[in-house]
């Protein structure tokens, strides 16, 4: 089975996971491609559909990121094929079956995929990379990519550390209280060499940009330590941080559902607890 793999960034671990998944679902023959130019989901989907058709490839795979899911959804519509998002396993057959993550990671669904050309995104951190280097052919998008043009670019504003790659993520929720309240979140993240994250409620309130959001509709992270401050623990948010090796929850509400997921919990006012933690970290540094 020849598999077309859409690669967003060859240096991204999620690309390595998607390639490992693709090698495992057939005879190991994969065709990784990355698309040049400004992001244009419909045009990129058309490009993948064209390549899959021209090269007679049997399946199309991408990482389960925002772009991966959006581009493959367009490709599936163009090819008139079903699309399996957040897939964790694929079993060949007539028809094949897939296992995929549903409800923000709270359950796994096994489904039959009635497709002549299966299109799948791989659930983040569901596959261990096989260690092979990631390389991809760069292709130009279809000509109608010009139909979409960026008017503004908003980069991550929290720290110099990427949210997706940070060893420590300090996230704030509605309990932080305001945009200004994130100063103590930023301070702690800086001391720990980490990145700042937030919940959807925070981005909806306009306190932080969407690039900082952790969750089902935001970035999915897998740090060594995830510190959730003033976050209730909604299913959608937990879907974004379930890959964390350890989770520390700080919340004034002792009944908050996040404590059921936490390895460590502190019940109290984050505006008092975070400065105290920061002060203890500074002591050995003489700061």
Give the domain ranges of the chain.
Answer: 3-147, 168-285
**Residues 6 or more apart in contact with residue 144 via CB below 8 angstroms:** 42, 43, 46
Q: How much is the average pLDDT of 257-266?
A: 96
pLDDT category, 85, cuts 50, 70, 90? very high
pLDDT at 3 over 90: yes
The number of helices, as runs of H, and strands, as runs of E, in the chain is 7, 13
Q: Which band of pLDDT confidence, cut at 50, 70 and 90, is reported for residue 104?
A: low
Kindly state the percentage of the chain with pLDDT values over 90.
72
Q: Indicate the fold that domain 168-285 takes in CATH.
A: Rossmann fold (3.40.50)
Domain 3-147 classification at class level:
alpha beta
- 3-147 and 168-285 have identical folds: yes
Distances (CA, A) of 208 to 154, 171, 181, 211: 11, 11, 11, 8
CA distances (Å), origin 245, targets 53, 94, 227 = 41, 38, 11
The answer to whether 239 and 215 are in contact (CB under 8 A) is yes
pLDDT of residue 158 exceeding 50: no
Mean confidence (pLDDT) of the chain: 90
According to DSSP, residue 133 is labeled: P
Mean pLDDT, residues 72-78 taken together: 96
**For residue 231, what are the contacts with CB-CB under 8 A and spacing of at least 6?**
171, 172, 173, 174, 175, 199, 237, 249, 251, 256, 258
């Amino acid at each position: 089975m020849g598999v077309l793999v859409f690669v967003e960034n060859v240096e991204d671990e999620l690309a390595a996971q998607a390639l490992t998944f693709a090698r495992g679902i057939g005879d190991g023959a994969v065709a990784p491609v990355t698309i040049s130019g400004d992001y244009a989901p419909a045009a990129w989907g058309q490009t993948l559909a064209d390549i899959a058709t021209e090269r007679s490839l049997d399946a199309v795979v991408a990482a389960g990121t925002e772009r991966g899911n959006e581009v493959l959804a367009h490709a599936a519509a163009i090819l008139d094929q079903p699309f399996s998002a957040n897939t964790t396993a694929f079993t060949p057959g007539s028809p094949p079956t897939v296992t995929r993550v549903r409800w923000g990671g709270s359950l796994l669904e096994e489904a039959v995929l009635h497709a002549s050309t299966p299109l799948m995104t791989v659930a983040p951190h569901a596959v261990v990379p096989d260690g092979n280097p990631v390389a991809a052919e760069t292709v130009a998008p279809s000509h109608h990519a010009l139909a979409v043009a960026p008017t503004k670019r908003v980069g991550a504003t929290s720290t110099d550390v990427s949210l997706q790659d940070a060893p420590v993520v300090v996230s704030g929720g509605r309990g932080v209280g305001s945009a200004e309240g994130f100063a103590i979140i930023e301070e702690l993240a800086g001391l720990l060499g980490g990145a700042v994250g937030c919940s959807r409620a925070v981005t909806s309130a306009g306190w932080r940009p969407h690039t900082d959001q952790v969750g089902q509709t935001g970035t999915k992270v897998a740090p060594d330590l995830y510190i959730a401050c003033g976050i209730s623990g909604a299913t959608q948010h937990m879907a974004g941080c379930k890959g964390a090796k350890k989770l520390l929850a700080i919340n004034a509400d002792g009944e908050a559902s996040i404590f059921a997921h936490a390895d460590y919990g502190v019940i109290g006012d984050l505006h008092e607890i975070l400065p105290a933690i920061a002060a203890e970290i500074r002591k050995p540094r003489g700061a």
